[in-house]
Amino acid sequence: MKTHPSPRTRVRRIPTNAAYDSATLYAIIDDAYVCHIAFTDESGPHCIPTACWREGGHLYIHGSNGSRMLKRLAESEACVTITHVDGLVMARSAFNHSMNYRSAMVYGQFEIVEGDAKRGAMEAFMEQLLPGRQAQVRGGSDKEYAATTVMRIALDEAACKVRAGGPQDDAEDMAIDTWTGVLPLQRVRAAPAPAEGAGETPGYIQQWQGKP
Amino acid sequence: MKTHPSPRTRVRRIPTNAAYDSATLYAIIDDAYVCHIAFTDESGPHCIPTACWREGGHLYIHGSNGSRMLKRLAESEACVTITHVDGLVMARSAFNHSMNYRSAMVYGQFEIVEGDAKRGAMEAFMEQLLPGRQAQVRGGSDKEYAATTVMRIALDEAACKVRAGGPQDDAEDMAIDTWTGVLPLQRVRAAPAPAEGAGETPGYIQQWQGKP
């Protein structure tokens, strides 16, 4: 990832919340199950959610060969965005209310991943979703791999924006006597719901619940 | 909302998961704190997250008058997308793994909301975030309102896609003995974190924790 922002990724609105380092970017991506991808075709701009994962300096996606988005992404610019909302920030004035969040935007063009790299990427996806799962299921067949497109975008032109902490009140509002602080939002893993006929519960399923 | 999809909103990929009714659309929007907006300018497509709320048949956003996105949205087409990830779906084969989710896409052009309607929209935003809060803080000043742009987009051209329930295994995989089912993900409200000097805790803050 570039240390300095490009004209497209330089954060102008509340630039003190901007971050351009790989550690921040990778942590935001690794905490996400889906990203939103903006691209444009003859009918205008589209914003489509899709599952994503990271390997090294690339973000990966996959889908059916028939996907209009994947076909279009092979030949045009895209912007990939991930956002986590961490809480509501309560201030003394209406307009100083805010949200705590972590967001990442990546610009560039996707490339198609083929051959052994394609299999490796799909296996990495499963391994990252749930370590240990891969060995307990039927792996992809040649036919399934042939019907699936895997793409990746380099994490070179990217910017993050993060807000954390309590409210920033105006000095002239400090005498207002009201509750202020943060109302946190968290994503939690709830109890696994086995399907009818499910086999024995392995450790990686037992350990699901309660993890952040 | 139109009962029938437009060429832009007709879901082609797994169309059995598509929904075009207002009740589904409104429920997905009302469960969201932020949306992602795709739009295009001279530097290409952008995907920007921003807080959103709904009143009747419109989705609202707001921001600084200086926001490049808001300026651009006043004069060009946009696509607004909201996605909730509800769980990971574990199947007997790698490629039948899936996610449960609820997503909504809205196409159209934003319009600027002015005058009394602008104040009404911002008050509705606060009321929907946290009923009761509005009366306990300093309301927006003329200067704050003048520096803020409120925009809305009609929920006319929209489509939802929802996956729920357990895995759909291929018939030939049913003899594979492995755990199958759903690993749910939930957004929860965690314990309020008061700022230094916070006033008394009102009922709407006490009731925050634990609500879905």
Examine residue B70 and state whether it is found in any structural domain, yes or no.
yes
The DSSP bridge partners found for residue B36 are B49, B81
Interface of A with B in 152-211 (CB under 8 A): 166-167, 173-174, 176-202, 205, 208
Instruction: Check whether B212 has a pLDDT greater than 70.
Output: no
Number of structural domains found in chain B: 1
Which residue from B60, B82, B58 is spatially nearest to B154, judged by alpha carbons? Answer: B58
Q: Each residue of B85-123: pLDDT tens digit?
A: 999 999 999 999 999 999 999 999 999 999 999 999 999
Min Cα separation B56/chain A (Å) = 22
Examine residue B115 and state whether it is found in any structural domain, yes or no.
yes
Q: Each residue of A44-66: pLDDT tens digit?
A: 999 999 999 999 999 999 999 99
Range of the domain at A70: 15-167
Q: How many other β-carbons are positioned within 10 Å of the β-carbon of residue B37?
A: 30
Instruction: Check whether B136 has a pLDDT greater than 70.
Output: yes
Which residues from B are below 8 Å from A138, CB to CB?
92-94, 173, 176
Min Cα separation B2/chain A (Å) = 19
Amino acid (1-letter code) at residue B87: G
Q: Each residue of B165-206: pLDDT tens digit?
A: 999 999 999 999 999 999 999 999 999 999 999 999 999 999
Q: Do B183 and A167 touch (CB under 8 A)?
A: no
Q: Each residue of B78-93: pLDDT tens digit?
A: 999 999 999 999 999 9
Task: Return all residues near A18 (Cβ < 8 A) that are at least 6 apart.
Answer: A5, A10, A11, A159, A160, A161
Which residues from B are below 8 Å from A44, CB to CB?
8, 40, 77, 79, 107
Is there a contact between A56 and B2 (Cβ–Cβ < 8 Å)? no
Examine residue B196 and state whether it is found in any structural domain, yes or no.
no
CA A48 to chain centre: 13
Examine residue B53 and state whether it is found in any structural domain, yes or no.
yes
Examine residue A184 and state whether it is found in any structural domain, yes or no.
no
- B140 in contact with A at a CB cutoff of 8 Å? yes
Question: From CA B103, how far away is CA A150, in angstroms rounded?
Answer: 22
The domain that holds A152 is classified in CATH as 2.30.110.10
Examine residue B114 and state whether it is found in any structural domain, yes or no.
yes
Examine residue A6 and state whether it is found in any structural domain, yes or no.
no
Q: Each residue of A181-197: pLDDT tens digit?
A: 999 999 999 999 999 99
| Predicted pLDDT of residue A4 | 72
Examine residue B36 and state whether it is found in any structural domain, yes or no.
yes
Q: Do A130 and B183 touch (CB under 8 A)?
A: yes
